[in-house]
Amino acid sequence: MNVLVIGSGGREHAIVWKLSQSKDIKDIYCIPGNGGIEDLAACRDIKVNNFEELISFSKKNRIELVVVGPENPLADGIVDAFTDAKIPIFGPTKKAAQIESSKIFAKELMKKYGVPTAGFKTFFNYEEGKAFLNHINPPYVIKADGLCAGKGAYVVRNNDNGLEILKQLMMELIHGDAGKRIIIEDFLPGIEASYLSFTDGFTTLPMIPSQDHKPLLDDDRGPNTGGMGAYTPIPFVDNSMARFIDKEIMDKTIHALEKEGALYKGVLYAGLMLLDNKPYVIEFNARFGDPETQPILFKMKSDMLPILKACIDGNLKNIKEIEWKEGVSVCVVLASRGYPDKPEKGYVIKGLEDLKDRKDVMVFHAGTRKESGKYYTSGGRVLGVTVMGDDYKDAIKKAYEAVSCIEFEGMQYRKDIGAKALKLIYG
């Protein structure tokens, strides 16, 4: 069959790479793709919110499966549009994708159905929010209701700052309409984990837990980014906690969505805070995570195609579990100077050739483009250097050795990806 992947990041390169190994797939297309994806799939430059053109492209190229990477087309209803056109598509409908596109929707759902999450209050009005802030003590978290490309959550440690953020969100509308409604949430100090499950709306099939590194700089300093690196598995979630998360968070949430008339198919991603060995949801995403998907799919042994099809067809219960390669997978993101605010672009990337034939290393591309056989930087997060190692020490060492082969002007990356796991294990 022919497959179309929507998106242009490291996540989409990993999805294309994984699907390219399925023997049942003939041609892979990616819209818009990037310099690395181009080596595996035919890329086309169509706007991902132009559903009409995407559908006509899919019909012309006999696409039998569409996989959607980013959240915006999901929130805009791409799944509804393709389903109406009778083209199988992997991902939630616009209604179900509200689990990510509206934090208030997600929080109210969790509250109603008893999914563990931080306490919160919702505000539609600036003056009411301000009055509330004057009565509580930091730390707390202010979150815009709508999609803000990962920039809509603010951990507040002093009240003046909180009042300023509230004003910027609700009065100055720095994130547009996304900040017209907000939530103020209890701060949960803990360890973060990303938990992704496939689902057909009735059953969930978990992937191995992973951990992202959102702040730009080592030791979780600096501004938040889309994610500067990830690894899997993580030593903070053992089997018994994973089964608890399956039952009390993932299954409960998809059953809640079904009851609310929003059957959820695709990947459900829970951003968790682990506190006193208990998981709390701090956000849901309606899609694969980026960069988490890079180490997760690099470690996945099973063919992903039958899983995606089972989610769409509603028979995921027939797939009992996913097989994984032994060992630890680590992904270090290489970003451009100026990321996340104003990334510089257009520099040549050197050193990729040296890593090309390594079985234990895969360099997934994000912000890159290819021209006359050379790769150039074209965005904030440029590459995800992803490796497999025997254990945490081995995988981290290998990842940074691979990173040292690559060079581009202004390249920046965190030096401490996986350090939290090392600290827990070795002290």
Site size toward ligand GLY (CB under 6 A) is: 7
Q: What does 227 bind: ligand AMP, ligand GLY, none (CB cut-off 5 to 8 Å by kind)?
A: ligand GLY
Structure tokens at 331: 């992904």
Number of residues that bind ligand AMP (CB under 6 A): 16
Identify which of 96, 186, 176, 98 has the alpha carbon closest to the alpha carbon of residue 138: 186
| Orientation of helix 392-403 relative to helix 419-426, angle to 10° | 150
Measure the CA–CA gap between 199 and 250, rounded to whole angstroms.
9
- Show contacts with ligand AMP in window 121-160 (CB under 6 A): 141, 143, 150, 153, 155
Q: Could you report how far apart the first and last alpha carbons of the chain are, in Å?
A: 49
Which residue has its beta carbon closest to ligand AMP?
Answer: 153
Looking at the Cβ atoms of 141 and 250, the one nearer to ligand AMP is: 141
Nearer CB in complex with ligand AMP: 56/158: 158
Question: CB 150 → ligand AMP: shortest distance, Å?
Answer: 6
Residue 8 or 58 with smaller CB distance to ligand GLY: 8
The nearer residue to ligand GLY, 13 or 370, going by C-beta atoms, is 13
Positions in 176-235 near ligand AMP (CB under 6 A): 185, 187-188, 192, 214, 224
DSSP 292-350: THHHHHHHB-S-SHHHHHHHHHT-GGG-----B-SSEEEEEEEE-TTTTTS----PBPB
Binding to ligand GLY (CB under 6 A) within 140-169 occurs at 150
Tell whether residue 12 is a contact of ligand GLY (CB under 6 A). no
The order of strands in the sheet holding 182-186 is 120-123, 182-186, 140-144, 153-156
> If residue 145 lies in a helix (H) or strand (E), which one and from where to where?
none
Does residue 180 come out as left (phi exceeding 0), alpha (psi in the -120 to 50 range) or beta?
alpha
Separation between Cα atoms, residue 396 and residue 398, nearest integer Å: 5
294 binds, among ligand AMP, ligand GLY, none (CB under 5 to 8 A by kind): none
Per-residue contact string for residues 261-280; x = within reach of ligand AMP by CB under 6 A: ----------x-x-------
Q: Considering the complex, state which of residue 203 and residue 225 has its C-beta at the smaller distance from ligand AMP.
A: 225
Q: Within 13 Å of residue 159, how many CA atoms lie on the same side as its CB?
A: 9
Report in angstroms how near the CB of residue 229 gets to ligand GLY at its nearest: 10
Q: Decide: is 227 part of the binding site for ligand GLY (CB under 6 A).
A: yes
> What Rg do the C-alpha atoms of the chain give, in angstroms?
21
Amino acid identity for residue 289 in this structure? G
Q: Which does 290 bind (CB under 5 to 8 A by kind): ligand GLY, ligand AMP, none?
A: ligand GLY
CA distance 20 to 171: 48
Q: Which listed range, 121-129, 283-291, 294-302, 324-332, lies at the site for ligand GLY (CB under 6 A)?
A: 283-291
Q: Which does 80 bind (CB under 5 to 8 A by kind): ligand AMP, ligand GLY, none?
A: none
- State which residue, 129 or 227, has the beta carbon closest to ligand GLY: 227
Question: Which distant-in-sequence residues (6+ apart) come within 8 Å of 69 by Cβ?
Answer: 5, 6, 7, 8, 9, 11, 12, 15, 287, 288, 290
Span 202-221, contacts to ligand GLY by CB under 6 A: 212
Query: Is 9 a binder of ligand GLY (CB under 6 A)?
Result: no
- Residues 287-316 touching ligand GLY, rule: CB under 6 A, are 289-290, 292
**For residue 205, which of 244, 251, 172, 162 has the smallest C-alpha distance?**
251
Tell me how far apart the alpha carbons of residues 203 and 205 are, in angstroms, rounded to a whole number: 7
Q: Which residues bind ligand AMP (CB under 6 A)?
A: 118, 141, 143, 150, 153, 155, 185, 187-188, 192, 214, 224, 271, 273, 282-283
